[in-house]
């Protein structure tokens, strides 16, 4: 995987163990989905190729009954479908929470910008300019790197500069004291939202759950081999459809698992809206 062209001391991967997975998220969404489905269909057909003749033409066929196999197959698919459904809901909930988190962070930036409007000159212009630079940094530099699975350390540096300038201001009047206290409170909220966003970038479904999902897919497809279907191609069509559905669901879970990675990710539109509507010079 090609690393971004920024200085190596300014960026770092959010999770060194996930560098291989990041490669998939850098693919176009349609290609990611196609590769996932093809992987499951190919695996299912390969297994069927080696086992179909042995089951349908051997003595093992006399022991099999499609009704009995179908009963067990229904139980397995129901349990596995329930697992995929719950996991899809969980990842979608995480995705929507990440979207709301970005909106709240953008809202806190807008509130802080309004609070700084009450500062006297020249501190007002200086602080508002620094906040505008920080917001532009998020949209133009941090967000593109987030979608590739990296964090830009320059964002923290811009935030530290703003913090130093804000704390260096010494209010004189009672009005500016109240405004300064409110600005500090809003700034602390903004920092908290940023920290939560940084944690969400590296957050994902635990690896043990992925092991269960993949093993469950393998068991479900294996159960499909034990139906007595004389025609290999018809049996292959049925297995392929089942594998394609499983592949699509796992693709959906994988895409929603990292709400800040890839094309299907949280948009920086909330920050851009603050820049366009609130931070007009």
Average pLDDT, the chain: 84
Please tell me whether the overall predicted TM-score, pTM, comes out greater than 0.85 for this model: no
R_g of the chain computed on alpha carbons: 27
Tell me which of 7 and 278 has the higher pLDDT. Answer: 278
Which of these ranges, 131-140, 167-176, 245-254, has the smallest mean pLDDT? Answer: 167-176
- Per the listing, tokens 């089942």 go with 242
**Where residue 205 falls among pLDDT bands split at 50, 70, 90?**
confident
CA distances from 19 to 12, 13, 16, 110, 247 (A): 11, 8, 6, 34, 21
């Amino acid at each position: 995987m090609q690393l971004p062209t920024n200085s190596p001391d300014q960026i770092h991967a959010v999770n060194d163990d996930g560098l291989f997975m990041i490669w998939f998220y850098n693919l176009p969404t349609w290609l990611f989905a196609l590769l996932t489905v093809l992987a499951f269909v190919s695996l299912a057909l390969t297994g069927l190729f080696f086992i179909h003749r042995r089951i349908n033409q051997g003595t093992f066929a006399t022991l099999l009954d499609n009704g009995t196999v179908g009963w067990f197959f229904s139980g397995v698919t129901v349990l596995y479908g329930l697992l995929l459904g719950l996991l899809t809901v969980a990842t979608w909930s995480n995705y929507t929470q990440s979207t709301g988190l970005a909106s709240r962070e953008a809202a806190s930036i807008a509130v802080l910008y309004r609070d700084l409007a009450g500062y006297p000159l020249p501190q007002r212009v200086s602080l508002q300019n620094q906040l505008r630079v920080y917001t532009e940094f998020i949209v133009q530099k941090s967000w593109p790197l987030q979608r590739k699975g990296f964090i830009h350390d320059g964002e923290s540096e811009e935030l530290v500069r703003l913090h130093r300038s804000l704390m260096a201001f010494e209010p004189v009047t009672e009005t500016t004291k109240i405004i300064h206290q409110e600005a500090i409170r809003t700034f602390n909220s903004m920092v908290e939202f940023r920290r939560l966003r940084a944690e969400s970038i590296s957050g994902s479904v635990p690896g043990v759950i992925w092991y269960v999902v993949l093993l469950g897919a393998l068991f479900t497809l294996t159960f499909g081999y034990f139906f007595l279907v004389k025609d290999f191609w018809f049996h292959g069509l049925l297995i392929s459809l089942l594998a394609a559905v499983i592949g699509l669901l796992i693709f959906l879970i994988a895409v929603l698992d990292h709400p800040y990675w890839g094309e299907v990710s949280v948009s920086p539109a909330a920050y851009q809206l603050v820049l366009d509507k609130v931070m007009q010079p």
